[in-house]
Structure formats: structure tokens, C-alpha cells
Structure 1
Amino acid sequence: MTNKEYITKSLNGLNISEDDIDIILLKGSVNADAPADSRACDMAVYHRMSAVVKSVMQNVSEGGYSISWNMEAVKLFYAALCNELGVENVLVNRPKIRNRSNLW
């Protein structure tokens, strides 16, 4: 299995175009035809999550037939990927600590 096949299969349910997969590989400096390196491929997807989110943000409706994407499922996929890689989940709103001592 090559790196491109690995990414294609791991993102199969998210309707990612082949062009987006090529961009993920290029931006992640991953050789598409090299034997699969799951960590390098997963890091490339992590760093180019914008391409994944862009693909699933499209809701299509035509002549009584519509397709909509479950963004919660995409966020869960991303959270699981972040947890597996041990990196920060940047899609989650983090609580902010503010200095409110002047109000007392």
C-alpha cells in the first residue's frame, strides 16, 4: 500500500477529491508512491485539515435530492486523530482565562 492509497482509504467516507489528496501529500512532504507511513500520512492530514473540512462543508440539493454532511462526525474524526497523534485539537473552542480582579 502506498501513502496515497492509505490517505485515500482513511478519508474514504469524507468525499475528498483526488486533487485534495494530492495537496495533502504535497503540503505534508509525503511521497505519494512510497510505501505507506501511517504516522507521516496522519500528520499530513492533521496539518491540512482545512482541505478535509472544505470538502465536507458543501451541502448539495438538486431536484428533491439532497446531501448534507455531519460536521459532528468530522469533528469526532479529527479529535480521534489528534488524540492518536498526541497533538492539539485546534477545532475545539478552549476556555479563556481572563483577569477580572478589577471588578472586585
Structure 2
Amino acid sequence: MATIREFIQAKLSRYNIDLTEAELDAAITDQGLVSSDQYTSSASKSSLKVIASVIPELLLAPDITEGGYSIKFDRAAVTAYYKLLCAQLGIDDRLNPQPKIKSKSSIW
């Protein structure tokens, strides 16, 4: 059985994303989880929220190319995965915020 940290690392590795141990542990703790706990279905939603919380910042990172070696990830795929997570978890899409109407009466 995988730990919460292993589950999140496996999901992010699909997109060639590696977080430092400190970054990942901080994001996991922010969701009220413990990184060394076993991954269970009850931790699923919070674990996916960890992933959704780190993606917007990751998309700001530049690609690195040096001496024929490069580190890149597919930004379109990561963005699509982020949108899927937002819809699935019912959270706001911070990459494409939608305006919110507070009162219909203010339009007229």
C-alpha cells in the first residue's frame, strides 16, 4: 500500500514534475494530511487537492536547458489535468478565474 506522499509523487511524475521533499510535505500538511500515512479512499479528495494546490505555481517555472540537457513538462497537459481536478473537486480554477455575479439587480 502506498503512502500519501508516494501517491502524490506518482501522479505528478506522469507529467515529469518533481517537488522537493519540503515542498511536498508542506502542501500535504496544508491539507491536514500526514505524508507518511497510508493512502486510503478517505484521503483521496484531500490528496488530489494537494496536487491542485501546487500546479498553478509549477506552471510559472521556466523550462531549463543547459548544454544539451533540458527539463521541461507539457504545460498543456498539466493545465488540462488541473482543470479536470478543479471540476472534479469543485474548487475554483485559479488559472482561469470566472467572474462572479453578486446581484442581478446591479446589472440593470
TM-score (ref. length: structure 1): 0.72
Match of 2:55 among 42, 46, 49: 49
Listed as ranges, the gaps of 5+ residues in structure 1 are none
Task: Tell me, yes or no, if the aligned pair for 2:5 and 2:35 is still in contact at 8 Å.
Answer: yes
Q: Percent identity?
A: 24
Give the AA of the match of 1:43: K
Deviation for aligned residue 1:65: 3.3
Is 1:75 the counterpart of 2:76? The answer is no
Aligned pairs for 1:1-104 within 5 A: 1-12=2-13, 13=15, 14-36=17-39, 37-53=43-59, 57-94=61-98
Distance 1:66 1:93, change over 3 A: same
RMSD: 2.7
Listed as ranges, the gaps of 5+ residues in structure 2 are none
Deviation for aligned residue 1:6: 1.1
How many residue pairs match? The answer is: 98
- How far apart are the structure 1 equivalents of 2:76 and 2:62? 14
Deviation for aligned residue 1:51: 4.7
- How far apart are the structure 1 equivalents of 2:28 and 2:18? 16
Deviates more, 1:45-54 or 1:62-71: 45-54
Distance 1:52 1:27, change over 3 A: farther
